[in-house]
Every structure is written in C-alpha cells, then in structure tokens.
Amino acid sequence: MSKSELDGIERQFTGITERGLEDLRSRIGVRIEDTLEPWCHEATRDNIRHYAHGIGDDNPLWCDPDYAATTPYKGTIAPPSFLFACDRIISGYVGGLPGVHAMWAGADFTWHKTIRRNDALRTEAWLKDLIPHETRFSGMAIQQIYHVNFYNQHDELLCEADSWCFRTDRDIARERGTKYDAVKAAAPKVYSDAELVEIYRHYAQEEVRGSRPRYFEDVQAGDKIPTIVKGPMTVTGFIAYAQGWGGLYIRANKLNWRQIHKHPGLGIKNRFGIPDCPERVHWESEFAATVGAPEAYDYGPERFSWLTHHLTNWMGDAGFLRQARAQIRRHNPVGDVLYINGSVTGKRQINGENIIDIEQRAENQDGELSIFGTAQVRLPGK
C-alpha cells in the first residue's frame, strides 16, 4: 500500500513500525523469561479430557481411564496437541508490536515421548525469526516465528516445536482486505435439515482405530485416511476449545484490569467503551470485521489439533505421532464446515522405526483450502 493510500486511512490502531521491528529483532534467540502462566501445568485427568472434548475428540485413550488402563500405557495419556494448553508462546502469545493484530498461522511439532497422565510440564522458548511478507489482505505482514521445547518432571524432552503468527495491520486489513469479499457479500448460510443430516453422517461414521493395531506392513502409499468433519462452526464450538485450551487473554474483572494495565495495547474498547481483549474476534463478529474477517472465526491451534485428531483416529493406540507440520490459509468463520482428508505418501524405516509419511488437506463446504499439512506416524510391525 502506497504512502498516499496509508495517509488516507482513518487510524484506529497502531501499525507496524520500523522502531517496533528493531525492538523485536533484538529479542531473536533470547530465552523468554517473563510470559503468561500456562493454562495447564500438569496433564491431569480432567485437563486432558477438557482439551480433548474442546476439539471434539472422544477417544477413550484420553477420555476413559478404565479403557486406558487396559492399553500398553496402563493409564490415560494426552492427545499430542494437548501441549497447546501448556504454553502460551506456542499458542500465539507474541511479544512486541502493540496494537498490531496477531493471526496464528501454523506450527511444526516433533514429539519424542508420550504425554502421560499427571506429567508436570515445563517449557523453554525464544523468538526464532522475523520474516516480512507483502500480502493482498493487509499490506506488509510480519511472520513471527517462535521455538518451544517441552519437558516433563523428569527433565525428559517430550516435544520440540516451532509456531508462527502473522502480524497484520488491522486498519489496512479492514480497508483493503479483499480475501473475504464474496463471503461478506453473500447472504448468511442457513442449513436445511437434509444438509445437516449429511454432515452429521460423518460424525456417526467416524472411526477411532483404538486397540486394533494398524501394522506398518499393511499400509501402502496411496492409502486414503478416512474423512472427518468439523462443524458447522459455531461460537459455542470456539468457546468449547477455549475452555480446554485456556485462550491467551481471557481474563475477568481484576485480572483483566491487571493485564490491560500492564499491556495497554490489549485493551481495545468494545461498543460500550469498555477495554476488552483482542481475542474476542473468535466470538464477536463485529470486532472480527475490524481485522478484515467476515464473521467470528475459529482458533488456529484448534484447527491444527483437528488435523492431529484425524491422525490419532487412524493410527490407533499402538501408533505414535512423531511429527506434524501445518499451515493455515484462511479463517473458518461461523457457519463453515471443514472436511479433513489425508493420504499416505510413503513409508520408510528410520533407525529401526517404522515411519508412515502422510499429507493432509482440509477444505470448507465450498472447496476452499483452509489448512494443509504433512505428518510422520510411527506404526508397529507384525
């Protein structure tokens, strides 16, 4: 966007400045010592279940202790994506550039060990890189990449991960954003009973592999992973995820005041003149419009977790999700339905491990790409 165009924009928020970027660059590689307390310090029975239910995953390995006791784990374990609840940085709590919107856009996780019930989690994190991008949606955007290591109470490395947000200028996105023009112009989607029956058919037929091992020898390149569905999206569903994940800035009363007092850029006034958190783009469509989105929309870590849910359903109790990487391409606003598909792209043995390579792709009801990714699953041999 040219300087003359920028000068014509009525500013509501602070934009991306060189001074702000210089401050951020000075933080690259420096371990972060002062951050928000995580939602979950421990993988308790309830914390695990709340997270799993927040993504719509009822796998008994995480949700039924009696079932889990009969498995080789001898007890409840957590879904791999539970780690989003154990660290704010990996979930999108980005420092610097106050008043500039942050959109969580992807992650790359490598798991080394299973997360077991009552594990106590600790993390170490640092800013890894800043990458500028020119976008149609909001002009210049900054990709802000963080690295996080997760350890259990025995100081064993459970997982190492990168995640990234795009920092976007809210005012430019509001004025210039064209990504969702067709959605904004269309009448709201209203589902017929017949359409809902067809969507819910996928829920009724969703298969959790469970105790039946999926063996390395029985999987071939080109095999399809059964489709799972998420949606139709509702604000209630987004809040269900926030209950299990904890959100980033959801605070009440004194704690909200303390947060805004410390970080004034987080206190964006609502229509009543009350400072409220930027996270309300996920439940308040009026505010979502200020960042160029058509309606309230889902959380990025939530969508990444839907992809891992797709994989854990398929691999069964004996499988281990070794690595997953995914990139977000658009919002899922209220009313969208997401169809998650995948296929096996190859199989190999690495240091004695049986590894299956997988590609995933999720599209909405109109065939628009929402998120895509790759994964590595370790399977047992016969």
128 compared with 99, residue with greater pLDDT: 128
CA pair distance 349, 356, nearest whole angstrom: 9
114 contact partners, CB below 8 Å, separation of at least 6? 73, 77, 320
331 compared with 2, residue with greater pLDDT: 331
- Residue 104: Cβ within 10 Å count: 23
Q: Out of 7-11, 32-36, 59-63, pick the least confident.
A: 7-11
| Cα 158–chain centre separation | 19
* pLDDT at residue 11 is higher than 50: no
Residue burial 74-99, b: 16+ Cβ < 10 Å; e: rest:
eebbbbbbbbbbbbbbbbbbbbbbeb
Contact status, residue 154 vs residue 187, Cβ threshold 8 Å: no
Domain ranges of the chain: 3-378
pLDDT of residue 58: 97
214 contact partners, CB below 8 Å, separation of at least 6? 314, 315, 316, 318, 319, 379
- Residue 207: Cβ within 10 Å count: 11
> Which ranges of 213-346 would DSSP assign to H, the alpha helix?
235-245, 253-262, 285-288, 300-315
Q: State the pTM of this model.
A: 0.90
CA pair distance 286, 294, nearest whole angstrom: 9
Q: What are 34's two structure tokens?
A: 């002062």
- 257 to each of 31, 140, 249, 374, how far by Cα in Å? 27, 32, 11, 41
Average confidence (pLDDT) over 353-362: 98
Q: In CATH, what number does 3-378 get?
A: 3.10.129.10
Q: Out of 25-39, 204-218, 344-358, pick the least confident.
A: 25-39
Question: 132 forms bridges with which residues in the sheet?
Answer: 142
Average confidence (pLDDT) over 306-311: 98
